[in-house]
Chains A and B, each alone.
Chain A
Amino acid sequence: EAQVTQNPRYLITVTGKKLTVTCSQNMNHEYMSWYRQDPGLGLRQIYYSMNVEVTDKGDVPEGYKVSRKEKRNFPLILESPSPNQTSLYFCASSLAGAPEQYFGPGTRLTVT
């Protein structure tokens, strides 16, 4: 089944404790992206990647890192999480040149 998977689905952590949210897709998509969803703000793009070893900042990259060492994986790293990063995070992927993205199920992160 074609899908985007994210792990974990739920995470509660404390300020400053480094964490990684994994994202994997099995559709051989070149483009991958991370978004956060917050009430009243909709979905905002954090980082995106056009292909392996090619990443770029989205609208709200501060406090986040990403890497794209393999085509299928695009982990989101929070080196020192803060409470304002409490949010619902979505990973998405698409074929190069195709704007329609496939989204993962989301990861709800709470930073206390």
Chain B
Amino acid sequence: DQQVKQNSPSLSVQEGRISILNCDYTNSMFDYFLWYKKYPAEGPTFLISISSIKDKNEDGRFTVFLNKSAKHLSLHIVPSQPGDSAVYFCAANPNTGNQFYFGTGTSLTVIP
């Protein structure tokens, strides 16, 4: 049973516009969330994270929003650049252990 879900397998956005990637989770014990970016033939690389005590974390063009009541987080990329084209995974870590649960990924294409 997938505890972390990314319901959009793919997303296309024009360069310069905003990209919004969504992630939903079911386990209320999750207290830390991360986004990873993955290029083909490479391993995922860490992008940005957020603790459950916050509802927003910003790092340059990347902002993650957390809505605990809806069990939903989103990654905003503004402005989107062609180099942002990659697969994005959200991940969650429960406060009860050291396991990590990943979503199925969203493939972002930024069109020049």
Tally chain A residues at the interface, Cβ within 8 Å: 25
Known: A42-B89, A42-B105, A99-B93. A58 touches B99 (CB 8 A): yes
B32: Cβ under 8 A from any A Cβ: yes
Tally chain B residues at the interface, Cβ within 8 Å: 24
**Which residues of A lie under 8 Å from residue B91 when comparing CB positions?**
43
A103: Cβ under 8 A from any B Cβ: yes
Closest to A35 in B: B102
B98: contacting residue among A4, A56, A102, A105, CB under 8 A: A56
Complex Cα spacing A42 to B3, Å: 11
A83-101 CB contact bits vs B (8 Å, 1 = yes)? 0000000101000000111
Complex Cα spacing A45 to B44, Å: 14
**Which residues of A lie under 8 Å from residue B42 when comparing CB positions?**
105-106
B12-53 CB contact bits vs A (8 Å, 1 = yes)? 000000000000000000001010100001111110010000
B-to-A contact residues, CB < 8 Å:
2, 4, 6, 32, 34, 36, 41-46, 49, 89, 91, 93, 98-105
A-to-B contact residues, CB < 8 Å:
4, 31, 33, 35, 40-45, 48, 50, 56, 58-59, 90, 92, 99-106
